[in-house]
A and B are shown apart, each in its own frame.
Chain A
Amino acid sequence: MNSAAVFDFTCPVKTNSGNKALEHLPVELAGLNAVNPLIVANARAVGPKAVRTLMNAFGDSKMTLGLFEGVTEAADLGVVDHLKNICLEKKYDAFIALGGGKAADVAKVLNLAVSLKTPDARQLSPKTPVRKRLLPLVVVPTAGADGLETSGFAHLNRMIFSSEFLAPGLAVLDSRLARARKGILMAATGLAALGRAVESHVSADRNPFQKAYSFAAVRFVRENLPAAVADPGNKKAALAVLNAAAMSGCAFSNAASGRLHKLGQVFYELLGIPQGVIMGMCLSRVLEDGFREGSCDPAALLQPLAGDDAFARTPAGKRAEAALALLNRFLEELRGALGKDLPKSLSEAGVSGYRKEEILDVLGKDEDGHYLRGVVEGMAGGKRERKG
């Protein structure tokens, strides 16, 4: 705890997690004075079964639900404006985002547009002041979530909207939606959660409240991701990974955007590569560099990563190295289990030299651009040696 300065922490998200969690939605919404919710989903990403599971959860509630299944990766403020007009006319009074990624982004910005009754949602920008509470927003992350669902951030039209009021009031994590078809989907979710949780957990300005979330997230990934990857049908492990993702979003909302997040985000926005894949690729490098520069403290990771016994047995002075070694081994094992499915370098991920240049250009505009570009160069693959 850095007590020299005043710190603050907020996590507006309530978590409901587990067996039949979705079935509590009618009661949860009633408690928020909402009776007519709109479900926002990318049906192609989450699959028809997930939509059905969510709709069935409302069975016997006598409610009417709006359903918009057409979120795509290309969704933008134009789509939001169109939806907003229908919402105002039909008086939807709450939003439920099914699945991660763009569905959550669209739902957050849509909630902003509807709550503020913005005449033209295409005019919304990160500068639009958000002073008041918006309508109730629920996120229902599925396998493939990236953790940003529970955060106060939304990415749309290459803009980053950020406010604690954008964060959902409720995250519902249901075992039935946690399972993935493929191990790599689980790995991407888990690594994105790990990346953001680690970044928040080792940062110099972390506080004890934020640490509760990042601690639990790191430990859950460490204890459950291998099992979830080895058997994507393992409900319990998959749900734990989804929990870790949700927690990482809460921790991340309260930390300064770190290097791992920036790298994951730029590849996702420009090339659609899952953030976890990129974060897994550069996690060790970014942490080692931060440790060397003295800007982060990997020793804090040892307890959640290694467990109580191993942590207690490691002398204080050796904890940072031990944590980094453990993290490397963990990632190696994950790569071993997934083989070709989890690319180890940009060339394995199919990023051409031309697309890489594009990424480098965007990163160049960041205040930390010089460093970030260096990391991307190091991830290129082929014969290039990683330098310290």
Chain B
Amino acid sequence: MLLPDYYEFCCRVKIVAGHDALEKIPDLLIERGAKKPLVITDKGVAGAGLIDIVSRALGDRVQADLIADDVPPDSDLRVVNRLARLYRDNACDAIIAVGGGSVMDTAKGINIVVSENAEDLMAFSGVGALKRPLKPLVAVPTTAGTGSEVTQVAVIKDHEKHLKMAFGSYFLLPDISILDSRMTLTMPPFITAMTGMDAMSHAVEAYYCLQKNPLSDAHALSAVGMIYRHLPLVVKNPDDREGRLAMAVAACLAGIAFSNSMVGLVHNLGHATGSVCGVPHGLCMAILLPYGLEYNLHKMADVMAELLLPMAGEQVYLATPAEQRAQKVVSLIRGLNEDLHAITGGRHARCLQEIKDREGKPSVPRDVLPQIAAAALLDGASIYNPEDTDYEDNLMVLEAAWEGKPLDRSRVKKG
């Protein structure tokens, strides 16, 4: 295990996990002096009946009947301000966020506004603008993937001014994250597959990107093993409670790993593909992950090789010569995507050209690849990728991922 010359690691979130972890929330809130949380979520989560489960679990020891279930998937400053007003008008003293990335980001934004008594959220953007703890925030993730229940960043858009504001502070970390198997039990197989692959990409990228450190490594290794084992099982068998809990825990471990070690090319291109074509993040991650490994392989082969044991187990590990282990990891991830493709009846796309929208039209036509490659230059994840990337590099990777062919590694520019 390598000790970098210098590293930082932080995850202050209290993690509570189990089949009935939600029931612990009242005690945890009371311990922190809160009795009246504002529950925020989105229509999808509420429609799936998850808020009913949360409400029942909260019982009557705290007053949690104020529920805002209309956070849009593409939340923005207006939503943050409106819900912050709701919070203040009702003298709430904590926030419970139930949902995925958009709900978590919105909750973090509300928390800044109500804790700092801010009129203008913008004044707190950037890194280090927050100097003290905010109100208690309880995160209840409903997808086992994003890891946003343990990240210290929030991105909030201002649709009117066409701005995307990033906030970064350890004070944005939720106080408590609740990992409860009931929250993911009804997630449809193809969404389970792609959010699970998002978590996998967090763990794998965290393990080979530049900010890796012994603690992010330990979290990543354990996440990779759990996801590789459990993901195909829960996709095949959605009612598998143990598998669901394991995936929630693994996604959280992966979230801790990547928020401390950052992500690279896979997320860089994935963010760009998402914003140009509007395709789901997890699907991009699943498709691009093998390419991120291949692109950086000449620099990080030894490190990538260490992922083989947790993924494939002792037999495969021993049977694979040391110098082929990194390559084996790549093919196992491709194999996992193939399996997920088969189990979901083809809904889990294996390459960019297979992604279809609701009408069955291809979401990523080949001629937008240059646009994606250019958009990727504007994304921060490139900083942490082991190998440098420029426009041509991005395009080369995207073209291979579009066709679904392994990357021709002889074409990767090496310094």
Contact = CB atoms under 8 A, between A and B. Distances in A.
Report A-B touching, CB under 8 Å. Answer: yes
Contact of A216 (B8, B24, B215, B249): B215
B167 to A, nearest CB: 14
Contacts of A169: 12
A6 B17 contact: yes
B5 interface: yes
Interface in B1-28: 1, 3-21, 23-24
A27 B397 CA distance: 39
A236 interface: yes
Interface in B276-315: 306, 309, 314
B198 interface: no
A1 B5 CA distance: 33
A362 interface: no
B246 A1 contact: yes
B132 interface: yes
A18 to B, nearest CB: 3
Given A8-B24, A11-B11, A308 B306 contact: yes
Contacts of B226: 208
Given A14-B10, A18-B6, A223-B1, A208 B253 contact: yes
A56 interface: no
Most chain-A CB neighbours within 10 Å: which of B15, B16, B20, B214? B214
B219 A212 contact: yes
Contacts of B32: 131
Nearest to B253: A208
Contacts of A212: 215, 218-219, 222, 253, 256
Interface string A212-248: 1101100110010000000000001001100100010
Interface in A163-186: 164, 169
A312 B309 contact: yes
Given A18-B6, A223-B1, A312-B309, A213 B215 contact: yes
A17 B17 contact: no
A3 interface: yes
A61 interface: no
A350 interface: no
B8 A220 contact: no
A7 B246 CA distance: 13
A342 B273 CA distance: 60
B31 A33 contact: no
B31 A131 contact: yes
Given A131-B32, A212-B218, A9 B3 contact: no
Interface string B242-255: 10011001101100
Main secondary structure of the interface of B (DSSP, over half): mixed
A273 interface: no
B16 A16 contact: no
A20 B317 CA distance: 39
A239 B5 CA distance: 10
A9 B18 CA distance: 12
Looking at chain B, what size class is its interface with the partner chain? Answer: 35 or more
Looking at chain A, what size class is its interface with the partner chain? Answer: 35 or more
Contacts of A12: 12
A15 B8 contact: yes
A18 B1 contact: no
A63 interface: no
A32 interface: yes
Contacts, number: 128
B8 A312 contact: no
A207 B309 contact: no
B18 A308 contact: no
A17 B1 contact: no
B131 A216 contact: no
Most chain-B CB neighbours within 10 Å: which of A3, A11, A208? A208
Nearest to B180: A6
Contacts of A239: 3
Contacts of A6: 16-21, 23-24
Given A6-B17, A7-B17, A312-B309, A219 B215 contact: no
Nearest to A9: B15
A360 interface: no
A10 B10 CA distance: 11
Contacts of A30: 131
B67 interface: no
A306 to B, nearest CB: 12
A31 B133 CA distance: 11
A337 interface: no
Interface string B212-228: 01110111001000100
B44 interface: no
Given A132-B33, A208-B226, A220-B214, A14 B8 contact: yes
A7 B218 contact: no
Contacts of B318: 312-313
Contact of A33 (B1, B131, B250): B131
Contact of B1 (A3, A13, A220, A236): A220
B33 A312 contact: no
B3 A133 contact: no
Given A6-B24, A32-B132, 19 more contacts: A3-B246, A5-B18, A7-B16, A8-B14, A8-B16, A10-B14, A11-B12, A14-B8, A19-B6, A169-B12, A207-B17, A212-B215, A212-B219, A213-B218, A220-B3, A247-B214, A308-B306, A311-B309, A312-B317
7 contacts: A3-B18, A7-B17, A10-B13, A10-B14, A17-B3, A30-B131, A243-B214
Closest 4 pairs (CB-CB, A-B)? A6-B18, A18-B6, A14-B10, A212-B218
